Amino acid sequence: MKNNMTKTTPLDAMEQTTGVPTEENQIAIDANIEAIYYGKFRAVRQSHVPIRKGEITGFIGPSGCGKSTVLRSLNRMNDLIPTFKMKGHVHFMGQDIYDPAIDPVVVRRHIGMVFQQPNPFAMSIYDNVAFGLKINRFKGDVNQRVEEALREAALWDEVKDKLHSSGLALSGGQQQRLCIARAIAPNPTVLLMDEPCSALDPIATRKVEKLMHELKKHYTVAIVTHNMQQAQRVADTTAFFSVDISDGERCGYLVEMGKTEELFEDPKQELTRKYIRGEFS
């Protein structure tokens, strides 16, 4: 295990290669999902979801259509669920992250995640942000990197005088921004966010949205949202998922994906049009 992480991983190796910006290397994560199962239940069927580099990709769709399932399969978070089974390939930096040779731990260090519920650790604000630096054996100036991450997460001014008090003593919105700072401190390539604003009030939501525009300068972001206005405000590309209730099973799939304005103004699929008009949810 240790060995696996000290030597240059295939993922690291790919980072060095810089080529002509073809359509191919504009894609940070290329998810070719054949099917995702929880035990016998097929939660998601055939869907191709490319996440473009340096952009924000929004996932929208009715509840239970598999948005979270797809998002979590992009950094192998779903491996925590014993019944989870993935068929298909998810390419990240030229590697299939579901290749048995690849350690999910390494994948999650390169592809960070922010969850629906703020979940800071029961430690100080400083230690929360420095956590990822510690496990990634960061050699530089930890204080400086912590400050940078907190600034990037638009939280620095609110906490700079109490860095050593508990992260759990912050408000919900502050906790969520702390979790964002914790996720970006070790410099992941991609940041996955699963409804990061659903536990927040409108003001905190706006703050986090504004923050996302800053984040995309340095990171590729994929975000699940229930809120179509939010998708329109933040996402460059939007993916619309729906659920197929046909043969007695509820199976989610990607309906269509495209530039956000195009998808909202002129959707190609009738289903998308209906959903955007609010005709079903």
Binding site for other proteins (CB under 8 A): 1, 75, 77, 80, 105-110, 112-113, 115, 117, 119-123, 131-132, 134-136, 166, 168-169, 179, 182-183, 186
Close Cβ partners of 241 (under 8 Å, ≥ 6 residues apart): 47, 59, 60, 61, 65, 66, 67, 70, 252, 253, 254, 255
Residue closer to other proteins, measured from CB, 208 or 276:
208
Is residue 81 a contact residue for ligand ATP (CB under 6 A)? yes
Q: Which stretch binds ligand ATP (CB under 6 A): 7-15, 22-30, 37-45, 178-186?
A: 37-45
Is residue 196 a contact residue for ligand ATP (CB under 6 A)? no
Residue closer to ligand ATP, measured from CB, 67 or 233:
67
Is residue 69 a contact residue for Mg ion (CB under 5 A)? no
Spatial separation of the C-alpha atoms in residues 262 and 166, rounded to whole Å: 44
- Which of these, 186, 257, 176, lies nearest to 212 by C-alpha position? 176
CB 159 within 8 A of CB 125: yes
Residue closer to ligand ATP, measured from CB, 32 or 136:
32
Is residue 63 a contact residue for ligand ATP (CB under 6 A)? yes
- Cα dist. 277→152, 181, 238, 271, 272 in Å? 35, 35, 16, 10, 9
Quote the crossing angle between the two packed helices 142-152 and 125-135, to the nearest 10°.
110
Is residue 73 a contact residue for Mg ion (CB under 5 A)? no
Residue closer to other proteins, measured from CB, 219 or 264:
219
For 169-178, b/e burial (b = at least 16 CB within 10 A) is: ebeebbbbbb
* Closest distance to ligand ATP from the beta carbon of 41 (Å): 6
Is residue 66 a contact residue for ligand ATP (CB under 6 A)? yes
CA 15-48-228 angle, to 5 degrees, is 100
Residue type, 224: V
Q: Which stretch binds Mg ion (CB under 5 A): 44-52, 68-76, 79-87, 96-104?
A: 68-76
Spatial separation of the C-alpha atoms in residues 213 and 218, rounded to whole Å: 10
* Closest distance to ligand ATP from the beta carbon of 213 (Å): 23
What 3-state DSSP class applies to 152?
helix
Positions that interact with ligand ATP (CB under 6 A)? 38, 41, 43, 61, 63-69, 81, 83, 226, 250, 252
Catalog residues that contact Mg ion under the rule CB under 5 A: 68
